[in-house]
Structure 1
Amino acid sequence: MDTDTKKDFFVSYNRHDKTWAEWIAWTLEEAGYSVVIQAWDFRPGGNFVLDMQRATSQAERTIAVLSQNYLDSQFVQPEWATAFAQDPTGKKRSLIPIRVGECVLTGMLSTIVYVDVVGVEETAAQALVLQAVQERRTKPAQKPSFPGYSEPTIARSKPIYPPHIVQNLPYASQTFVGRDAELEQIHEQLHQQPTTVVLAISGMGGTGKTELALQYARQQCREGAYPGGVCWLRAREDVGAQIISFVRSHFELIPPEDLELLEKVRWCWQRWHEGAALLIFDDVQQYDDIVPFLPPQDSRFKVLLTTRLDLGAAVQELQLDVLSENEAIELLRALVPRSLQATGALEKPLCEWLGYLPLGVELIGRYLARKPDLSLADLWQRLQDKRLDAIAFKEAQPGMTASLGVAAAFELSWQALEEPAQHVATVLSLFALVEIPWTLVEQCLPDMDEEELEEIRDEQLLGAHLLKRVDKGMYRLHQLLREFFASKRSQRADDLTLQQQFYQVVITAAERVKEKPERSQIKESTVAIAHLQAAMERLVQPEQALDVATCLKWIAELYYAQGRYREAEPLLVRSLELREQRLGQEHPDVAQSLSVLGWLYYSQGYFGEAEPLHVRALKIRQQHLGDDHPDVALSLSGLAQLYSFQGRYGEAEPLHVRALEIRQQHLGDNHPDVASSLNTLAQLYEAQGRYGEAEPLHVRSLEIYRRQLGDQHPDVATGLNTLANLYRSQGRYEEAEPLYLRSREIYQLQLGHSHPYVGISLSNLAKLYRWQGRYSEAEPLVLQSLSILRKQLSAEHPRVAAVLYNLARIYDLQGRYSEAESLYLQALPIFSMKLGHNHPSTQSGSQIFRLFLQKVIQDRRTHELSDDPMTQEMLKQLQATTED
């Protein structure tokens, strides 16, 4: 944009009135005036705010292109306000409003005389505009000749004068947010073929299909795109009569009375006004009903439908979804008073609860606008208490395009469903607002034929946009539709039976998922958790406490399988409390909760908390199930692993051996649980340096895992990892490395890159590289491991301490003493606090730290160390010993 030359006029307009603005600018420039207009003078890549500031300050006067869109826009207010502030009395005529659309001026703008070109033909409008801007000047009789060379400009064709378009459009909302891409898509699809195009805007009730069609039609009327007229037809009513009425009223043509209805309609098409024409059939229920009334295959006719149905291949389709989160919040803000916007912390959760449904957001926004004393927090509470029965949802408000409230809009679709489809819809309301595996729906409805269910799903629910397909075999309900279907379900005599069936189905599904913790099941696991929570929300009776406890346990175990230990803990604690309250302290199900919670605490490094839980679970199981039951073996194994990790090898070994014996006796020699016992016993032997006894157990364990679970299972990765640890301890580095690499690959593939097992695998591989002197390869692996384990476990977990120690050793061996010391000082207190002073890790760690300090003294680099009391005290001891 030319920033030096003064301009006569700056044209201020809203984007909806761009055609008018360009016509005005062209008219002024053709008359010899200089003009600044965003459409022509703001270049791509420029700073819009600075361009606008320069334009308003550079121009002598401002043209305001007035319409309701202009008045409603917050962005153009500063443009005309600047001109008004410079000339508040109007003496210099700095602000010249030109009204191009129906609107009512209020405030400061109402005090200024405007030019009105609404409904005026082009020549007269041009004269009005030029008369308004001139002082004494009159237009020359002939166009002035070109005065001389100037910078080349891009040639433009003269903008068309927006003509008066005949139309019968209903009232459109003045608050229209988003959907710019959809407006462009509608226009592109309607004009991509040289024949009559039929385009259907489809979607569930409340997505704003009618509003979008209406906004498109009004936009095109403003731009003069359909000189042949825009005809709005209510598809639920007599379409043929409406077409004839439109022709009679707007074209002053009356079909012969002796013709049949369809013949009269054809008569109208043959005599339709020249130019492109747009026909809109709103709320189509059956496509076949309107086919006889469609215009002939003439390129000038464009047909737009709105429908809740999926019309299939019969027409082109634009499926309208809900608003984006930002668009929904923007719409809400456009409707509510600014005083409420200042307390907008609930805007996001409110729009999320509404499922970003335009109808829901608009109803809530207009309700708040009528209730200035009602806060967002109060409204939020009302919605939580009354759901769709809240008054705010009941009916449409003045100024809305929609004529129904949310429930009434959904009721239209509900009534169109056959009874079996209504039954299925009520079952769907039991599921959570995540993907719904269709197999679970089938299991909830065992008395319905699979093919019948498929037909209901595809033809009625998907066909009416009451259900959305998100992936193969996976579907999703909209938030407010779920509320609506739930209200219908509550009216059914079999509601409690449906809930109980749903509970049993999701419990069984969770058990299946839990048995397959591979990465391919992680998404299924997340879905199962959500549906378990949905089932649990309905278990409100005291006698259902045990069902709640079971749900909590399964959710927690699914979290545990994903390495989400912190999320699992409170659920397991609550599950244990409920079972103790209902079953007493000594029931086997209580032992199950104790055992699972003990395993969780062990994984988190809470060994003091884990031991009494395992001991108590073992006692209950031995008492109720006998000494040889597999559940007893599970408790023995849990206690043995805890003792092994604590360095209590003498106590651990007989428990490991007994657990192995029980499992072999009850499960056979080739069961995965037997492989688990072999693996943990082998790790115990390795920790004691009994490598010859450990290796065959490791090898046998890995063979069983592979045979029973397949080569890609995480337990196979565990077998590979522990066997690699043994080889590393024996100095068999070349044999260990490929096992570590394969183990890491399986963990990452099946559990994701952030699982604790991945972190442990990375640290073990780094330890191998450190022992081989491959420090540059080891360091990034340790850092990655540290990041994972700190996030998934805790900063004080012994495994985190082990990684810190590993990294300290890498820096120590490279002479990076300052960095090494810091890590030693972080790791050693964790070993001492979590494992005890006598644990091998604590003892060996302290010894290595002492050797590290001796090396620092020998290298005369003690000045690089910190003032930490532990370091300084040990340095004094070592230096004193050296002097002696």
Structure 2
Amino acid sequence: MQWANFLAKEAATTRLSFEQMAAFVNYFKTENLSKTEAQLASELNVDIPTFKKLIGELYDKFAQNYPELAISNSQGKLEKLQAYLSAKYNSELDVLKPLAAMKLLKSLVVRERLQQEAWVARRICKFLGYSPLALELVGRYLDKMPNLSLETLLKLLEKKREEHEAVVNADSLMDYEYGVAEAFELSWEQLDENAKSFGCLLSLCALADIPLSVETVEDEKKRELNEKAIADLLELHLLQQKSQGLYHLNSLIRQLFRIKLDNSNEADEAKTKFAAMMLEVAKLIPQQLNPEDILNFTPHIPHITEVATHLFQYLGDENIITLFTKLAWFYQGQGLYQQAEFCLQQCVKLTQNHLGLEHSYVAASLNNLAGLYESTGRYSEAEPLYRQALELRKRLLGNNHLDVATSLNNLALLYESTGRYSEAGPLFEQALKVRKRLLGEEHPDVATNVSYLALVYESTGRYSKAESLYQQALELWKRLVGEEHPHVATSLNNLGALYCYIGRYSEAEPLLKQALKLRKRLLGEEHPDVATSLNNLGQLYESTGRYSEAEPFYKQALELTKRLLGDNHPDVAISLNNLAALYRHTRRYRKAKPLFEQALKICEQTLGVSHPTTMTVRANYANFLRETYH
């Protein structure tokens, strides 16, 4: 199949519109790859903005079908698509020269066997279109059939082609690759039912490496069946092992297994099973990722995305939100906000299309997307979504519902972040009343709400009220969960930070030390909350002029945050800013300048230029520059 035909096939598979298809095929034609956008737009008889819009739309279309593209960075998207399509084309349709094909077959089949029927061997290579994959499949098949003559093999292949052509002619939309399909059919007949079912299940995976770990299967009999199925598929080259626990399923083999599955009576059962498997993996993704989490979950992400994109109907409605939310956590936890946004936007669209506009799960998906926008400083985009979610929940659930309280809190937190304290306070108070009414005075959500309200009082200078509420929250947490609990540590930290802010340093220090000690004991040395406590103690010592004591705390916080979250996370930027400010105060300007610059760069790249944290870092850097250049 030629490249142009391959492009047409991909366009049809991706269900591009007529305009998108024309732009796609034209853009990726070999002879057009060096042309400018203006030249390509002219050939399509559209202006440049329209052409760019078409190209953007078609990329998004492909991203829906191929998860590897959905997680691409914004830069070089089309170049990545070109590389992806080229790799797929070569892996599917690459052919050998006749002599090279014979050499490959000789490496797979006993030499004497080929020598006896050398002419037939050459005919088999030609029949298979000199496809390396088809030759590999046939070679493995012959190895299992030592008494089968090559002449008989050729007749079997010809029979399989006749059977397939009859099916293809009856269904003009069916895609068919000559050579590989016939060889696959012979291999299929060698598999037992267990291996067939396993291969069909694998066909539901994304076009990416597949992590398979039979050791995690508790049922011994099931584990043995899985091990045998993998071994059988490997033996026939229907599956390849790339490394320990990581396998590759060729895209054509995947397609042929999928056809077998879709034509069976087990399709719905297999899709339900696969969707459930991926959901269970997704549920394990934590909101706060460490490097080990990223390493462990990365191989699973394309397959979880495949379920979210193509098999969501095999999940319960509530699980659709769970799947997309967990995917968003995976990206957001690494500072990959664009990818997280894509997941949450898809969740909104899917729930609206699937459930209608008036549904509580639509409100939940709107709320989640708003939360992402808020965390990245896109407050003007977050607010209408939070409002929409709140109003929808009120209409569907009434004013006296816990989900309504959650929405009230979320909108209030947005207002608090943007300094709109007069609007935040009443919303926090409403949420607190709802929660007290429904949950009683002694409940974790009530304690959390009390802390939120204290935050507003602290931000508006009503420090005595804030102190009283922080103390209430602390005592409530102690009664609810005991003295030894992370929530108690957080409350100690909040109260200590308030005392530090208003200059009551002698009262702040023991609370902040107690919070750090408790967090280390309960959460371990390697935890983001520990880094927060280290930073807070550093700020206390800096505020009291104890710079030599502040510096090691800032350095520990910075190194810990880098280890946990990577070098380009907003929390790293905050630690860099703190350490730079300390160096500024101690007139170590050469050390301060690169830290300020790093902090500002990270903030602008991850949070955007208008985020409050970015503006704070920028202001600190500007003050530093003014101070050092005068």
Provide the TM-score with structure 1 as the length reference: 0.42
From 395, 409, 430, the equivalent of 1:637 is 409
Question: In 1, are the aligned partners of 2:539 and 2:550 still within 8 Å (CA)?
Answer: no
Partner of 2:425: 653
Could you report, residue by residue, the CA deviation over 1:360-399 in whole angstroms, capped at 9, with x for unpaired residues? 99x85658978xxxxxxxxxxxxxxxxx99955323699x
Deviation of 1:834 (Å): 4.2
Q: 1:465 to 1:505 in 2, by over 3 A?
A: closer
In the alignment, is residue 478 of structure 1 matched against residue 253 of structure 2?
Answer: no
Q: 1:592 to 1:440 in 2, by over 3 A?
A: farther
Distance in 2, Cα, partners of 1:742 & 1:390: 67
Alignment of 1:803-822 (within 5 A): 803=575, 806-816=578-588
Alignment of 1:676-825 (within 5 A): 676-687=448-459, 688=461, 689-690=463-464, 692-700=467-475, 702-703=477-478, 718-719=490-491, 721-726=493-498, 728-729=500-501, 730-731=504-505, 732-740=508-516, 743=519, 760=532, 763-772=535-544, 773=546, 774-781=549-556, 784=559, 792-793=568-569, 803=575, 806-816=578-588
Distance in 1, Cα, partners of 2:213 & 2:410: 35
Deviation of 1:733 (Å): 1.4
Question: In 1, are the aligned partners of 2:412 and 2:425 still within 8 Å (CA)?
Answer: yes
Deviation of 1:486 (Å): 3.6
Distance in 2, Cα, partners of 1:412 & 1:717: 64
Task: Report which of the two structures shows the higher radius of gyration computed on alpha carbons.
Answer: 1
Alignment of 1:171-190 (within 5 A): none
Alignment of 1:450-461 (within 5 A): 450=219, 452-461=221-230
In the alignment, is residue 538 of structure 1 matched against residue 307 of structure 2?
Answer: no
Distance in 2, Cα, partners of 1:615 & 1:412: 60
Distance in 2, Cα, partners of 1:347 & 1:528: 19
Deviation of 1:438 (Å): 5.7
Alignment of 1:589-628 (within 5 A): 589-628=361-400
Question: In 1, are the aligned partners of 2:137 and 2:184 still within 8 Å (CA)?
Answer: no
Could you report, residue by residue, the CA deviation over 1:484-504 in whole angstroms, capped at 9, with x for unpaired residues? 644542342332442134324
Q: 1:557 to 1:805 in 2, by over 3 A?
A: closer
Give ranges in structure 1 of 5+ residues lacking alignment. Answer: 1-344, 355-359, 371-387, 443-449, 854-861, 867-871, 873-884
Normalized per residue, the structure richer in strand is 1
From 418, 422, 427, the equivalent of 2:196 is 422
Question: In 2, are the aligned partners of 1:519 and 1:749 still within 8 Å (CA)?
Answer: no
User: Percent identical across equivalent pairs?
Assistant: 29
Deviation of 1:814 (Å): 1.0
Q: 1:415 to 1:580 in 2, by over 3 A?
A: closer
Could you report, residue by residue, the CA deviation over 1:338-376 in whole angstroms, capped at 9, with x for unpaired residues? xxxxxxx9699849996xxxxx99x85658978xxxxxx
Distance in 2, Cα, partners of 1:518 & 1:676: 25
Question: In 2, are the aligned partners of 1:686 and 1:694 still within 8 Å (CA)?
Answer: no
Q: Secondary structure at the match of 1:652?
A: helix
Deviation of 1:631 (Å): 1.2
Partner of 1:435: 211
- Letter of the 1:605 counterpart: G
- Letter of the 2:249 counterpart: Q
Distance in 2, Cα, partners of 1:369 & 1:763: 64
Distance in 2, Cα, partners of 1:451 & 1:674: 46
RCO higher in 1 or 2 (8 Å CA, sep ≥ 6)?
2
Normalized per residue, the structure richer in helix is 2
Q: 1:528 to 1:610 in 2, by over 3 A?
A: same
Deviation of 1:535 (Å): 1.7
Deviation of 1:782 (Å): 6.5
- Letter of the 1:699 counterpart: L
Q: 1:776 to 1:538 in 2, by over 3 A?
A: closer
Question: In 2, are the aligned partners of 1:698 and 1:719 still within 8 Å (CA)?
Answer: yes
Alignment of 1:483-522 (within 5 A): 485-507=257-279, 509-511=281-283, 513=285
Alignment of 1:572-587 (within 5 A): 572-581=344-353, 583=355, 585-587=357-359
Question: In 2, are the aligned partners of 1:394 and 1:406 still within 8 Å (CA)?
Answer: yes
Distance in 2, Cα, partners of 1:563 & 1:683: 26
Question: In 1, are the aligned partners of 2:195 and 2:233 still within 8 Å (CA)?
Answer: no
- Letter of the 1:865 counterpart: T
Could you report, residue by residue, the CA deviation over 1:258-317 in whole angstroms, capped at 9, with x for unpaired residues? xxxxxxxxxxxxxxxxxxxxxxxxxxxxxxxxxxxxxxxxxxxxxxxxxxxxxxxxxxxx
Distance in 2, Cα, partners of 1:702 & 1:722: 13
Distance in 2, Cα, partners of 1:685 & 1:573: 34
Q: Secondary structure at the match of 2:403?
A: helix
Alignment of 1:250-289 (within 5 A): none
Give ranges in structure 2 of 5+ residues lacking alignment. Answer: 1-81, 102-127, 144-178
Question: In 2, are the aligned partners of 1:744 and 1:762 still within 8 Å (CA)?
Answer: no
Q: 1:803 to 1:684 in 2, by over 3 A?
A: farther
Distance in 1, Cα, partners of 2:217 & 2:536: 44
Question: In 2, are the aligned partners of 1:811 and 1:819 still within 8 Å (CA)?
Answer: yes
Could you report, residue by residue, the CA deviation over 1:778-822 in whole angstroms, capped at 9, with x for unpaired residues? 45346548968895556xxxx788556534531232134677689
Q: 1:741 to 1:465 in 2, by over 3 A?
A: farther
Q: Secondary structure at the match of 1:602?
A: helix
- Letter of the 2:337 counterpart: Y
- Letter of the 1:806 counterpart: N
Distance in 1, Cα, partners of 2:608 & 2:96: 59
Q: Secondary structure at the match of 1:395?
A: helix
Q: Secondary structure at the match of 2:400?
A: coil
Question: In 1, are the aligned partners of 2:321 and 2:361 still within 8 Å (CA)?
Answer: no
Distance in 2, Cα, partners of 1:748 & 1:390: 59
Distance in 1, Cα, partners of 2:509 & 2:611: 29
Q: 1:647 to 1:454 in 2, by over 3 A?
A: same
Partner of 1:394: 134
In the alignment, is residue 865 of structure 1 matched against residue 605 of structure 2?
Answer: no
Distance in 2, Cα, partners of 1:780 & 1:429: 49
Question: In 1, are the aligned partners of 2:473 and 2:491 still within 8 Å (CA)?
Answer: yes
Q: CA RMSD in A?
A: 5.6
Q: 1:396 to 1:695 in 2, by over 3 A?
A: closer
Question: In 2, are the aligned partners of 1:618 and 1:635 still within 8 Å (CA)?
Answer: yes
Distance in 1, Cα, partners of 2:444 & 2:241: 38
Question: In 1, are the aligned partners of 2:405 and 2:430 still within 8 Å (CA)?
Answer: yes
Could you report, residue by residue, the CA deviation over 1:573-593 in whole angstroms, capped at 9, with x for unpaired residues? 232234445555544322212
